[in-house]
Structure 1
Amino acid sequence: MPQDIRVWDVCTTGNLSEIKKSKLDFEQRIQDWLEQDISIISPNLLVIGKEVQTDYGGFIDLLCLDQKGDIFIIELKRGKTPREVTAQALDYASWVKYLSNDHITNIANSYLMNKYNLELDKAFQKTFKIELPEVINTNHHILIVASEIDSSSERIINYLSESYGVSINAVTFQYFRSEDGRELLARVFLIEPNQVEENTQRQNNSKRQPNLSYAELEEIARRHGLEKIYFELYTNLVDKYFTVVSTTRSSLSFKKSNKTIFTLIPVESNGEKGLKFRIYTTRFSESWGIDLENIIDLLPSSKYAWENYPSATPDWCGHEGFFKTLDEVDIFIAGLHKITQNGNYTRT
């Protein structure tokens, strides 16, 4: 139900003076305010994109991440929200649903580097005081912003949330201007945010899938006939070079100082190509004081340059490829050991 908000100023005399609602160049000003301070919607969001173009020709007004790595689609419309805006927001969500980690990182870095000279991982840590999750966009949420919500849109949003657990909500902002020129903004959610979350969890029974276990990743490698390669790499890298190892839905990540440096990806491997790996060569070089050329020389012949996003900084670049034989694993491990012990290595 649309809410009529009224605001009074408590004067020094003790009398009340109503502050009249005013017209607002809503869409542009509220978008600017939200971009500058997204906490007026939620303190747990980080803006990672503005006017983000989808593959379907539309533009998402604001794209955000929360501290769990979920995506928030924020769509703004001037005046009363027509029924079409709900369909448009759902269309955007159908595109966002399939965005990969790399695609989202690319969007975020393009925006954040231009605005704050920060990459996504650093901006995320600065905002939430925690590391960026290995997997982002497990879930996505829709928030429609307007000065008023028409009854048809209200019914549709409530129906989607209550009946199907779609994480969708609307928030209205009403603008007031006092006689002395002070500006005030009032915010009302159509559905209480915690209720939206409860509806979603009830319908989907917490659809966020857990990361694969070490045993599950090893089993995937075994099914591809790569268990010996996987085992040799794992046992020779853990403890000797890496003390922090974590899993995702597809990979085993070896870390140092909370940064992923080397990754094994059984899910993208096969018996013909071998066990897929990814290495952040600059991070590897800086962690052990090894020349980049020596690191690259240790890698299997089936390798190619890789970057996390177009024109990425060296910290987000490296190589990926495949370990196809145990001989390639032996060369990599033996060479790594020799370099870290003696500081040089010549491949024979």
Structure 2
Amino acid sequence: MLNRREDETVPTEIKLWRIAENGRPKPVDQDKLDLESRLEDWIRDDIGLVNDDLLVIGQQVPTDHTGEIDLLAMDSEANLVILELKRDRTPRDVVAQTLDYASYVQKLGLSEIGEIAANSDFLDGQSLEDAFSEKFGEDLPEFVNQAHRMYIVASSLDSATERIVGYLSETHGVDINVATFAYFNVDDREMVGRSMLLDEVAVQTRSDTRKTSKRRENLTQAELREIASENGVVELWDRAYHGFRPISQGTTRSLSTLSFQIRIIGVGLRSFLSIVPGWSSAEKGLVLRVRDQFISEWFNIPEDEIQGVCGEEVKDFPDVWGGERFLDADRLDRLIKLLRENTPSN
């Protein structure tokens, strides 16, 4: 094994061959990437360069610590993923900075994450919920950011970064890895190849086995109905369930909601409203989380008509998704009638 200085970087070694006119393979020499900042642009345009299972939600994201996160993404389990470019920083600096960002990210809730996504141009005007559903084919979970992941992105790797990241993952189960890229220019055609420092499956396995999961089993429909009963709204619960179930093509449960879904060809099941029994009360009514825009598009009903039936949104719930309303029996019956009359025939 060759010895090298702690700060000496070695380009990612990826072999590439071109098939010559005589049919024989000819090795292609690796070139030096002129600007490592170009990596950020490439990854921004195609996150699959690092991992296909990611949805980018922000770039140069401000933190209340020092600095800005180069790229922030979300995976299919709604966990946040930090992508930090090494640039010309020392191994200690880039690893410390990435871990510092992780200490900030772990505190973010749904409202803060939604604000980050809304302030970026990655979702093309979609809500975080819609972008997540489109990317992963399922609804955004009720509880997000239960864990986080980190990637350091570089065009070359030094022994110190390799040793520190390996130690964090292999000894302490930290979900961190390094993605390095090899650059080729063949007849003025640019190409890149990617290599991971650590095996991704092994990193995930170590992380999963060393952390105590915050996830709990979703409540059953009977348990959610019991909560409605305890809050004095079981009759409204039953009214809502029997009213919305024939309109929907499926239901899904969480720790606090029963959601009604519609199947969209090429996308899958998408929730259009949810019952939230824990926030309901006999005095104010049954809480429904109503996705006005989605219902308007699917059922072809003007949003102001939906809002007129459902009433004003409630803004004082914790970490609100949006669209929550208290509905009494009259408003509930009017909403059921409106959706039934406008349910698409196919």
Q: TM-score, normalised by structure 1?
A: 0.74
Deviation sequence 1:115-146 (CA, Å, 0-9, x none): 74544455445444x13333343332111111
| Aligned residue identity for 2:291 | Y
Length, aligned pairs only: 319
- 8 Å CA contact 1:93–1:140 kept in 2: the answer is yes
- 1:162 is the counterpart of 2:162: no
- After alignment, is 147-156 or 268-277 more displaced? 268-277
Greater relative contact order structure (CA < 8 Å, 6+ sep):
2
- 1:92 is the counterpart of 2:91: no
Match in the other structure for 1:247? 253
- 1:19 is the counterpart of 2:29: yes
| Aligned residue identity for 1:250 | S
| Aligned residue identity for 2:206 | N
Structure 1 residue 171 displacement after superposition? 1.3
Match in the other structure for 1:78? 87
Pairing partner for 2:65 from 56, 62, 68:
56
Match in the other structure for 1:172? 180
- 1:44 is the counterpart of 2:43: no
| Aligned residue identity for 1:246 | T
- TM alignment of 1:171-190, pairs within 5 A: 171-178=179-186, 180-190=187-197
- 8 Å CA contact 1:112–1:120 kept in 2: the answer is no
- After alignment, is 46-55 or 203-212 more displaced? 203-212
Match in the other structure for 1:330? 329
Pairing partner for 1:106 from 115, 138, 141:
115
- 8 Å CA contact 2:236–2:286 kept in 1: the answer is no
Deviation sequence 1:234-284 (CA, Å, 0-9, x none): 211123223333222332323345443333334556788776443334555
| Aligned residue identity for 1:85 | V
Pairing partner for 2:276 from 255, 265, 273:
265
Please list every run of 5 or more consecutive structure 1 residues that lacks an aligned counterpart in the other structure: 308-315, 324-328, 344-348
- 1:200 is the counterpart of 2:207: yes
- 1:234 is the counterpart of 2:234: no
- After alignment, is 203-212 or 135-144 more displaced? 203-212
SS in 1 for 2:52: coil
- 8 Å CA contact 1:50–1:60 kept in 2: the answer is yes
Q: Considering only aligned residues, what root-mean-square deviation do their CA atoms show, in Å?
A: 3.8
Structure 1 residue 63 displacement after superposition? 1.5
Cα distance in structure 1, aligned partners of 2:157 and 2:148: 22
- 1:29 is the counterpart of 2:38: yes
- 8 Å CA contact 1:246–1:253 kept in 2: the answer is yes
- 8 Å CA contact 1:70–1:140 kept in 2: the answer is yes
Cα 1:203/1:338, change in 2 over 3 Å = closer
SS in 1 for 2:276: strand
Q: TM-score, normalised by structure 2?
A: 0.74
